[in-house]
Amino acid sequence: MTQAALDKALKGPTFHPISAKRKAKNSIAAILFSASFLIAMLPLVWLLYTVLSRGFRAVISSGWWTRSLAGVLPEQFAGGVYHAIYGTIVQAGIAAVISVPLGVMAAIYLVEYGHGRFAKITTFMVDILAGVPSIVAALFIFALWITTLGFPQSAFAVSLALVLLMLPVVVRNTEEMLKLVPDELREASYALGIAKWKTIVRVVVPTALPGMISGILLALARVMGETAPVLVLVGYARSINFNAFEGNMASLPLLIYTELINPEAAGRSRVWGAALTLILLVALLYIAAAFVNRYLTRNRV
C-alpha cells in the first residue's frame, strides 16, 4: 500500500492541454467575430449592387449628365439631372467656402493657442455640434435666416445649414492633422526668430496640408448627401437655376425625394439613377481624398 503511494508522482503534470470546453469557446468566439464583419459587409455589397443594377440604365441614357428635367413629363424616359448635380455641387461648395476657413482657424486655436477653460468649452461644443441632427440644423437656419431675418428660401440657406454640419468634421480632422506636426519644426522656426503666426501659416499648416485637404474632401462628401436641409430650406426646380441666392434649386437628394412620389416607371428609374449619380460623386471625392493623401504626403515630414 505505502509502496504504491510513494511510487505515484507527487504532482500532476505541469502543463495541461487546453480543455475541450475552452477550445470550443475559443473557436466559437473566433467564428462569431469574423461573422460579424461579414454581416456588416452584406448590406454594403447588397446596397451598392442594388443601386448599380437599378440605376445603370438611367445613368448611361443620353442626356443624363447634360440636360435637366425641364419640360419632361413624369412618365417620359427623357431628360437628365445636370440641374441637380449643379445644385448639389454649388450648395456643398458654398458651404465649404464658409466652413473651411472657420473650421481651420478654430482648429488652429485649439491646437496652437488653446489651453484654458475657454478651449475646453470649445472642444465640448465641437463635439455637441457634431452630434446635432441635420434636421435640427435645418430648423435653426429656418428660424434664424428665413423667419427672423426675412430672407427667402434659397440654395444659400441650405449652404448655411450644411456649414453647421461640415464645421465640426473640419475642426476635428484639422486638429488631428495639426497635432501630427512634430514640435521640432515649430521650435526650429521659433529659434530662427519667426513670429508665431508666421510659423503657423508657413510651417505648421503647409506640413499638415495634405491631411487637411483630404479631410475636407471627405467632409464635403458627407454633406453632399444630406437631405433634411434641402427639404426644409429650398424648393425643388425641374430646370436649371444658376443663382444660389434666389429661387428654387434642385439637388440630387431633393430630386430623389421628389421623384419618389412619381408613380410612373420613369420616375423610379430617375430615383435610382440619381442615387447612383450621388454615390458616384461621393466615390469621386473619396478617391480624390485618397489620392491627395497618398501622393502629396511624399517629401514631407
Partner 1 sequence: MTVKPEPTAVGSSTSTSPQQAGDNEGMPIKTAKGPSLKDGGGRWGDSIFRSMAIAAGATIIGVIALMALFLIIRAVPSLQANMANFFTSSEFVTTDESNLRFGIADLFRVTMLSSVFALLVAVPIAIGIATFLTNYAPRRFAKPFGMLVDLLAAVPSIVFGLWGIFVLAPWLEPVSRFLNDKLGWFFLFADGNVSLAGGGTIFTAGIVLAVMILPIITSVSREVFSLTPAGHVEAAQALGATKWEVVRMTVYPYGRSGMIAGSMLGLGRALGETVAVLIILRSAAKAGNWSLFDGGYTFASKIASAASEFSAKLPTGAYIAAGFVLFALTFVVNALARLAAGGRVSGG
Subset of residues 116 to 175 that bind partner 1, contact rule: CB under 8 A:
118-119, 121-140, 142-144, 147-148, 164, 167-169, 171-172
Q: Does 205 bind partner 1 (CB under 8 A)?
A: no
CB-wise, 220 or 244, nearer to partner 1?
220
Calculated CA dihedral for residues 159, 107, 288, 162, nearest 10 degrees: -10
Out of 4, 5, 8, 33, the only residue in the binding site for partner 1 (CB under 8 A) is 33
CB-wise, 47 or 265, nearer to partner 1?
47
Q: Identify residues 55-94 at the interface with partner 1 (CB under 8 A).
A: none
Contact 221, 292 (CB under 8 A): no
Out of 89, 205, 228, 288, the only residue in the binding site for partner 1 (CB under 8 A) is 228
CB-wise, 2 or 293, nearer to partner 1?
293
Name the nearest CA neighbour of 217 among 179, 267, 173, 175: 173
Q: Which residues contact 33 (CB under 8 A, 6 or more apart)?
A: none
Q: Which stretch binds partner 1 (CB under 8 A): 43-51, 59-67, 75-83, 238-246?
A: 43-51
The grid cell for 242 is 444658376
Give min distance, CB of 134 to partner 1, in A.
6
Q: Does 113 bind partner 1 (CB under 8 A)?
A: yes
CA distances for 211 relative to 53, 104, 126, 204, 228, angstroms: 34, 12, 19, 12, 29
Q: Does 105 bind partner 1 (CB under 8 A)?
A: yes
Q: Which residues contact 151 (CB under 8 A, 6 or more apart)?
A: 145, 157
Give min distance, CB of 3 to partner 1, in A.
35
The grid cell for 18 is 487546453
CB-wise, 90 or 255, nearer to partner 1?
255
Distance CA 206, CA 52 (A): 39
Residues 258-277: x where in contact with partner 1 by CB under 8 A, - otherwise, as a string: --x----------xx--x--
CB-wise, 127 or 242, nearer to partner 1?
127
Q: Which stretch binds partner 1 (CB under 8 A): 5-13, 73-81, 111-119, 292-300?
A: 111-119
Contact 99, 166 (CB under 8 A): yes
CA distances for 234 relative to 135, 144, 245, 287, angstroms: 13, 15, 10, 30
Give min distance, CB of 63 to partner 1, in A.
23
CB-wise, 130 or 242, nearer to partner 1?
130
